[in-house]
Amino acid sequence: MSPDTDRARPLTTGEHGFMETGESRARELAALQETAQALTSTLHLPTLLEAIAERAVKLIGAERCAVFELDPLDERLHVRATQGMLPGEAFAPIRLGQGAAGSAALRRQVIFSSDVEVDPLPMYDELWPEAGATVRDVVRQRGYRAILGVPLVSRETVVGAVCLYWNQPHAYDEREAQLLTSLAQFAAIAIENARLYADMEEQRCEAELLSEITRDLSSSLDLALVLRKITEYAQERCGSDMAFIAPRDQAREAATIVTSVGTRTDAFIGVSILPGKGIGGRVLETKQPFVTNDYLNDPRLRHDYNLLAEQEGFVTNMAVPILREGEILGVLWVVNRSPRPFTARHQAVLTKLAGQAAIAVQNARLFEETQRRLGETAGLLKIAEILNSQLELEPVLKEIARRTAQVLEFERCSVFLWSDGRLQPVMAQFADGRAAPELWAAFRSIAQYRIEDIPALAEAIRRAAPVLVSDAHVSPLVPDWWVETFSLKSVLVVPLIRQGAVVGALHLDKTDPAVVGDHQLDLAMTIAAQVALAVDTARHYAEERTRTAELAALLEITQVSTSTLELKPLLKQIAQHTARALNMERCSVNLWREGHLVPVMSQYADGHHDPALWQKFKSMAAQHVEDVPAHAQAIRIKQPVLVEDARNSDLLERYWVDAFGIRAALVVPLIAKDEVIGTLTVDDARGPRHWSTAHVDLAMTIAAQVALSVDNARLYDESQRARADLQGKNAELDTFVYSVSHDLKAPLVTIQGMAGLLLNEYRSQLPKDAERYLGRIQANTEQMERLIGDLLALSRIGREARAPAAVSLGEVVDDVAAGLASAMRERGVRMIRGDLPTVWGIRTHIEQVMGNLLGNAVKYLGDAVEASVEVGTVDRGTLVECYVRDNGIGIDPAYHERIFEVFQRLQEVEVDGTGVGLAIVRKIVQASGGRIWVESAKGQGATFRFTWPKGPANGPNSRS
Ligand code: ADP
């Protein structure tokens, strides 16, 4: 009880009374204290109000009590608690100024009537509208006689009133009034505290609610979900029957109801709230809250939505704008079906919720924007990644086309390459990855069109800048057939620019009108730059790869060419390699002989055999070359002839194209020594083909190689034939020599016989000269016999019937040396011979070789002092190199070759001989697969060397 406050005043009055009747005063004080305690023990307003009523009755002792609370919004006093009254006895709300409660509250003073019949209350006989009677009627009906009313005032504000009622007239007791005033003061403070607490609670709830919403906002980026929650909170916090929210469409001015709670139907969902129409439209327009207690009939509003509102039974309605930095983002409103009005507190709550909704809408917008940007960045990144990870153009373009369509929000993206003034459709992809084979064919056929036929592309390429067509149906930039074929509405063409040059274009289209901002155009250009780079890189890579493949193909073709001289297998392999190197299905070779094409080879790249086709190919032989214009032209102009699309070409006859299913072909003439010797053709049934210079060059290089091979093979054929001819002739000659020698032998023997008879039987009768002549005849016939013998030996070589065998060279040499022993002794020749190996051959042949060489060595020693003859061998793998060396007269190198020919003698010294010996030796050595040569100079002695097999051919020691 602080004495320095207003509330102390009744106590002061009490103290004054205490002096008079100290004891009862002490009791009253104790009762007051008890009351103060009771009233401060609770912060719950209804409990408190009940306690006030109870304490008032206890303190003063009236039969009944009512506690009123003043509602500031309707300025009526509402009964909140009673004491001693029967259920239903409490009063209706009463206006300020009327009755005891109304006038105590209005006047802020105690109102007392000891007997209302004598001393009526203020406005006693005026109508009490809320009760439907006068105060007098009500008081009479209840049977009250004496009434005391005190105001509840806290900090200058009336918060209510307390009234006590007696059934009998009751004398006004100042002390009672003072007691009641004290109680009222306590009560007012307690009420204020309780209200503050309730406010605090309210605020705490609100804070909790807001934090909950905030949590929702941050945990959910689903705008629809957040807006629904906010709407539900609005309904809950405002205690309304219904609540709605309508975010504003950024592009349009209208807001659209996305959530309704508490409605009977979903009729409001999707309703567009136009500015100025209805309460929502008014808020959209004014950006101010709007409250009405009679929505359907409020003259301030336009009633565009009354039909719907009537169905739902709208009565009171409060709408607040959803604002963010002055921009209106939507409307939030609460509606009741009964005349329950919305209060200032409701409005505060709703405004707060609207604030949250604003954040949510903005977050969602930001999120959407971020997502879009993220999507773009991810798209760009992905594109960059694809560009870096792949060098193959096709998969790169496929991926890029799809991503580009996605990022730029078009349905489809096509890629065209632009080179040599030609537009090449290389890739088309839908953003969703779906395939459309029927469109693909149409797309590929664009290759046939001239660039001017597609102005949008032509324009973008010419200006090196993007071209946007928002309505292709009316734009001259997109031809009708293009619009129809691809069923498109809007088109964006972005040129692919590499180092200042346009290398192609991205063609984006969709079936909706396109809205393309600067940002998207920038993005498109960025992507296009990346794609141009990729195209460039991939092109380099492809060129590099083509070059490598070409080199490999050429290398293989060269290898094949040198591995065999047989034409057929050679052409077969070359044809296959050529088809592969040029990425064509088939390669054929025709030879050009005496004005006719001779089909010699046709091969598929994969090596498969098609007998039917082969027959058709062979039938070309019967064809007049002018019926195959491409070939005729290639042969005539000696230049390659290109067929890019066989169906649109005069170079191939229609039936021809059909028979072989040719779509693209290349015919290259085969030229050897300036003469066309045939044609090399590659063709393909898969589709038209653009022939690059590089490919034609490669085909020409291969053709040159083929021509060379064909020519080589021909030369080889010719040389083989010549060799066979020669062999035949040699054999004939041998036969001739053999028969002549043989036939000459008989008359020679007769001559020898006759000459011998003449000498033996008629020597005495013959003159001296005749005897000498006969001697000469005998000598010459002997020489002739030797000659014939040698010639016979020579011609017999090669038709030897005996089988070769292992022959000891040492034994042969020893035998031969024994035959020469007397001559060697006579001349004093030293014979040198080391270890000699076993060789493989016909013994008589080896004897003949060694006999001749050793014979010559001894014969041609001349007048050498310390004459010596040496025989030895050198190991040469599968062969033995054998040498016979002398230190005789030697041979001038000029004659080293000639001495091996028949009848060639040098006549340096007078010795017997036929000049056939070395010819026989050479023929034997060569027949056994070896060779013979001489190392010598005049007067320096001579060394004859020859090689001879160690073992049988194909045996373990033979040459592989
Ligand atoms: P001939 O019967 O004349 O010996 P060959 O064919 O054996 O016939 O030899 C041909 C010629 O080679 C001989 O006439 C001789 O002039 C020369 N000739 C052969 N062997 C020797 C040698 N060892 N030294 C010098 N000249 C030789």
Average pLDDT, the chain: 84
Cβ of residue 633 lying under 6 Å from some atom of ligand 1: no
Nearest CA to ligand 1 atom 25: 890
Residues 142 and 90: their CA atoms lie apart, in Å, by 10
Nearest CA to ligand 1 atom 4: 913
- How would you label 643-678 residue by residue, b for 16+ Cβ within 10 Å and e otherwise? bbbbeebebbbeebbeebebbbbbbbbbbbeeebbb
Of the candidates 754, 822, 809, 744, which has an alpha carbon nearest to the alpha carbon of residue 947?
809
Nearest CA to ligand 1 atom 11: 905
Burial class for 853, CB neighbours closer than 10 Å (0-12, 13-18, 19+):
buried
CA 146–ligand 1 middle distance (angstroms): 181
Q: Identify whether the C-beta of residue 670 lies closer than 8 Å to the C-beta of residue 679.
A: yes
pLDDT confidence of residue 10: 35
Cβ of residue 942 lying under 6 Å from some atom of ligand 1: yes
pLDDT for 195-218, tens place per residue? 877 777 777 777 677 667 666 655
Residues 807 and 635: their CA atoms lie apart, in Å, by 62
- 3-state secondary structure at position 738: helix
Nearest CA to ligand 1 atom 16: 906
pLDDT for 418-434, tens place per residue? 887 888 888 899 999 88
Please, which residues bridge with residue 501 across strands?
A: 498
Residues 927 and 920: their CA atoms lie apart, in Å, by 11
CA 932–ligand 1 middle distance (angstroms): 14
CA 777–ligand 1 middle distance (angstroms): 25
DSSP state at residue 84: S
Predicted confidence band of residue 383 (pLDDT cuts 50, 70, 90)? low
Q: Identify whether the C-beta of residue 617 lies closer than 8 Å to the C-beta of residue 588.
A: yes
Whole-Å CA distances, 279 to 232, 292, 294: 20, 9, 11
Atom of ligand 1 nearest to the CA of 790: 2
Atom of ligand 1 nearest to the CA of 886: 23
Residues 449 and 744: their CA atoms lie apart, in Å, by 91
Who's near 209: CB < 8 A, 6+ residues apart? Answer: 233, 237
* Interstrand relation of 412-419 and 838-841 (parallel, antiparallel or unpaired): unpaired
Cβ of residue 439 lying under 6 Å from some atom of ligand 1: no
CA 218–ligand 1 middle distance (angstroms): 118
CA 919–ligand 1 middle distance (angstroms): 10
Q: Identify whether the C-beta of residue 911 lies closer than 8 Å to the C-beta of residue 859.
A: yes
Nearest CA to ligand 1 atom 20: 856
Cβ of residue 857 lying under 6 Å from some atom of ligand 1: yes
Nearest CA to ligand 1 atom 19: 856
Cβ of residue 902 lying under 6 Å from some atom of ligand 1: no
- Sign of the torsion angle spanned by Cα atoms 648, 652, 654, 659: negative
**Which amino acid, residue 886?**
D
Cβ of residue 886 lying under 6 Å from some atom of ligand 1: yes
Give kind and range of the element (H or E) at residue 769.
Answer: helix 768-796
Q: Which of 827, 899, 936 to mutate for ligand 1's pocket (most ligand atoms within 8 Å of CB)?
A: 899
Cβ of residue 122 lying under 6 Å from some atom of ligand 1: no
Cβ of residue 900 lying under 6 Å from some atom of ligand 1: no
Predicted confidence band of residue 312 (pLDDT cuts 50, 70, 90)? very high
CB atoms within 10 A of CB 100: 30
pLDDT for 849-881, tens place per residue? 999 999 999 999 988 889 999 999 999 889 999
pLDDT for 455-476, tens place per residue? 999 999 999 999 999 888 888 8
Cβ of residue 921 lying under 6 Å from some atom of ligand 1: no
Nearest CA to ligand 1 atom 8: 915
CB atoms within 10 A of CB 639: 15
- The predicted model gives 914-942 an average pLDDT of 92
**CA 444 from chain center: how many Å?**
21
pLDDT confidence of residue 34: 82
Q: Which of 783, 784, 856 to mutate for ligand 1's pocket (most ligand atoms within 8 Å of CB)?
A: 856
CA 866–ligand 1 middle distance (angstroms): 20
Residues 40 and 814: their CA atoms lie apart, in Å, by 155
Cβ of residue 899 lying under 6 Å from some atom of ligand 1: yes
Please, which residues bridge with residue 681 across strands?
A: 588, 667
pLDDT confidence of residue 562: 66
Residues 955 and 62: their CA atoms lie apart, in Å, by 149
Cβ of residue 908 lying under 6 Å from some atom of ligand 1: yes
- 3-state secondary structure at position 379: helix
Atom of ligand 1 nearest to the CA of 944: 23
Please, which residues bridge with residue 641 across strands?
A: 667
Predicted confidence band of residue 386 (pLDDT cuts 50, 70, 90)? low
Predicted confidence band of residue 891 (pLDDT cuts 50, 70, 90)? very high
CB atoms within 10 A of CB 594: 5
pLDDT for 792-849, tens place per residue? 887 777 666 678 899 999 999 999 999 999 989 988 999 999 899 999 999 989 999 9
* Interstrand relation of 412-419 and 255-256 (parallel, antiparallel or unpaired): unpaired
Q: Identify whether the C-beta of residue 613 lies closer than 8 Å to the C-beta of residue 602.
A: yes
Predicted confidence band of residue 2 (pLDDT cuts 50, 70, 90)? very low
Atom of ligand 1 nearest to the CA of 908: 16
Higher pLDDT, 759 or 14: 759
Q: Identify whether the C-beta of residue 310 lies closer than 8 Å to the C-beta of residue 39.
A: no
- The predicted model gives 764-768 an average pLDDT of 88
Cα pseudo-dihedral 654, 660, 663, 664, rounded to 10: -110
pLDDT confidence of residue 357: 86
Atom of ligand 1 nearest to the CA of 900: 6
Of the candidates 452, 470, 459, which has an alpha carbon nearest to the alpha carbon of residue 494?
459
Residues 498 and 937: their CA atoms lie apart, in Å, by 77
pLDDT confidence of residue 14: 36
Helix segments in 639-767, DSSP class H: 654-660, 693-762
Cβ of residue 860 lying under 6 Å from some atom of ligand 1: yes
Q: Identify whether the C-beta of residue 716 lies closer than 8 Å to the C-beta of residue 565.
A: yes
Q: Which of 863, 868, 905 to mutate for ligand 1's pocket (most ligand atoms within 8 Å of CB)?
A: 905
CA 851–ligand 1 middle distance (angstroms): 13
Nearest CA to ligand 1 atom 12: 899
Of the candidates 396, 691, 382, 380, which has an alpha carbon nearest to the alpha carbon of residue 536?
396
Cβ of residue 112 lying under 6 Å from some atom of ligand 1: no
- The predicted model gives 779-784 an average pLDDT of 85
Cβ of residue 888 lying under 6 Å from some atom of ligand 1: yes
Of the candidates 315, 383, 319, which has an alpha carbon nearest to the alpha carbon of residue 353?
319
pLDDT confidence of residue 902: 85
pLDDT at residue 956 tops 50: no
pLDDT confidence of residue 837: 95
Burial class for 935, CB neighbours closer than 10 Å (0-12, 13-18, 19+):
middle
Atom of ligand 1 nearest to the CA of 861: 24
Who's near 146: CB < 8 A, 6+ residues apart? Answer: 62, 112, 113, 114, 115, 116, 165, 166, 168, 169, 170
Who's near 59: CB < 8 A, 6+ residues apart? Answer: 28, 31, 32, 35, 179, 180, 183
Of the candidates 350, 354, 357, which has an alpha carbon nearest to the alpha carbon of residue 334?
350
CA 738–ligand 1 middle distance (angstroms): 23
Cβ of residue 917 lying under 6 Å from some atom of ligand 1: yes
Cβ of residue 892 lying under 6 Å from some atom of ligand 1: no
Q: Identify whether the C-beta of residue 390 lies closer than 8 Å to the C-beta of residue 369.
A: no
pLDDT confidence of residue 836: 94
Nearest CA to ligand 1 atom 2: 913
**Within 13 Å of residue 104, how many CA atoms lie on the same side as its CB?**
31
Cβ of residue 905 lying under 6 Å from some atom of ligand 1: yes
CA 856–ligand 1 middle distance (angstroms): 6
Q: Which of 860, 938, 943 to mutate for ligand 1's pocket (most ligand atoms within 8 Å of CB)?
A: 860
